[in-house]
Amino acid sequence: MTLSSDWDNEPYVELYLVQKVLNLVVPLDSYSSKWIPQFKIKIPHKKSSDKVDYFIEDSSKNIKFLVEVKTAKTRINNATARQQLDKYLRYSGVRFGILIDPFLVEIYHFKKGQTKLKSQFDIKDITDIKSIAEFIKTFFLESIKMRSIAIHNSKGGVGKTTLAINIAYELSKRGNKVLVVDLDDQANASLTIGVNKAKEINNASTPEEHKKIYKFLDERLEVINFIKFVNKAGEIEDYRNCIVSSKSIENLFGVDVLPASHKTTENELPSGPTVLRYLDMGLIKFVEDYQYVIFDTAPGSNALTWCGFYAAQYLVIPSQMEYLSVYGIRHVIRNAEEVQKDSNGQRSNILGIVPMMVDGKNLNKTVEEFVRDSFPDIPILPAIKRATGVGKASHENIPMSQFAEKDKESPKTSKEVAESLKTLTTRLVEKIEEFECKNG
């Protein structure tokens, strides 16, 4: 490919190549996007800051990356350009970077102290902007997509934890890396998944044994510490130490957990005007590590629940089809709409309402019709039947699908509930894909 001398000029390359490509990848006029040209990066032991050509953020996809531009003359196919990007990634706290010139695009990932090539694309036709943008979308944005879902109702006892951990399990079973974030000081999700010494708690018979358990919980890092590290600008390993890996425990759910305990209270949150966004800011650091993050929230509307609302792209509302439970839906919707407005539609988008513990009674059917009439714009998702097996599965710390295989007392009902949870998970994924397709 022979190019005119214009392409030896960096502003020309930026105007006629880079900006056109980036605008197809992360549109500048989108509420969720941020472009900062000549982004300053403080390098240790230097009096002045270095500048990378672009810092790009797309909050709808939980992604940040740097872009360094070279010309037809300077090219990126040399060690100097790559060393330059490595330095920017190393000291900016941004994990992804793109090098681009009129002949080549290279995508890099900074992880565990090293900058590694993720993918590259030879530019055959400088005017084929769409193909270049499609490469970046396909081999970069799509490959590191992290979807986040909060499960919430302001009323307790509606099955939030059951829904959260079983959806997480079903997603994990499909090959996704999943993180469960427990935001409830009752820590039922952490207990059920097995990271809060559930067996020891059940078997403890002396004050000394209970003291040992509480000492462990007092000293262990958890979701509150994770949020505090954002306030302290912690290192990536600080955050990672708060997450309990499924590999380190007898975790039949196959998911990682950011656990909670009695310490998980809003009084423990750092002070500051943006504290509600700290959880989101911390989780973005793990955007390539997880395909899904599921938040199990506390009932009511405390600050930790709001942290979950601001970190979750999507919201699912479980509710029993009984009048007192249904009235809590209105409050949740109102809160979600406030967060949607404040985040320019990037957080707490409602996927639907899940009827919980239904038993086929006329009251359930009547209330469900009332819900449909009251909230016509919000879908009613597949229902979950009432079943004793749900509580037994939770007590045994196993997913409902696994419990159904061994249940001898009411195998038919347990299998129906397990199948409903699979169907619900499929529908949620479909709803998310529909939303993303519609909203870019």
pLDDT (tens place) for every residue of the chain, 440 residues total: 789 999 999 999 999 999 999 999 999 888 788 999 999 999 988 888 899 999 999 887 778 899 999 999 999 977 789 999 999 999 998 889 999 999 999 999 998 889 999 999 999 999 999 999 999 988 887 777 789 999 999 888 888 999 999 999 999 999 999 999 999 999 999 999 988 876 777 777 788 888 888 888 888 999 999 999 998 887 889 999 999 999 888 888 999 999 999 999 999 999 888 999 999 999 988 888 899 999 999 988 899 999 999 999 999 999 988 777 777 888 999 999 999 999 888 899 999 999 998 887 767 788 888 888 888 999 999 999 988 888 899 888 899 999 999 988 888 899 999 999 999 999 999 999 998 878 75
pLDDT of residue 139: 80
pLDDT of residue 207: 84
pLDDT of residue 209: 84
The one-letter code for the residue type at 211 is K
The one-letter code for the residue type at 246 is S
The one-letter code for the residue type at 266 is E
Q: Could you give the C-alpha distances from 402 to 224, 244, 396, in angstroms and in order?
A: 31, 22, 11
Backbone Cα Rg of the chain: 24
Topology given in CATH for the domain delimited by 146-439:
Rossmann fold (3.40.50)
pLDDT of residue 138: 85
- Cβ atoms of residues 292 and 178 within 8 Å: yes
Residue span(s) of the chain under CATH 3.90.1570.30 come to 5-143
Residue span(s) of the chain under CATH 3.40.50.300 come to 146-439
pLDDT of residue 426: 97
Torsion 298-303-308-309 (CA) sign: positive
Q: What is the pTM of this model?
A: 0.81
Q: How far is CA 48 from the centre of its chain?
A: 35
pLDDT of residue 108: 94
Q: Give the C-alpha separation, 342 to 321, whole Å.
A: 30
pLDDT of residue 438: 80
pLDDT of residue 32: 81
Strands 256-258 and 349-358: what pairing?
unpaired
Architecture of domain 5-143: Alpha-Beta Complex (3.90)
pLDDT of residue 440: 59
Q: Give the C-alpha separation, 316 to 148, whole Å.
A: 11
Q: pLDDT digits over 52-62, tens only? A: 999 999 887 77
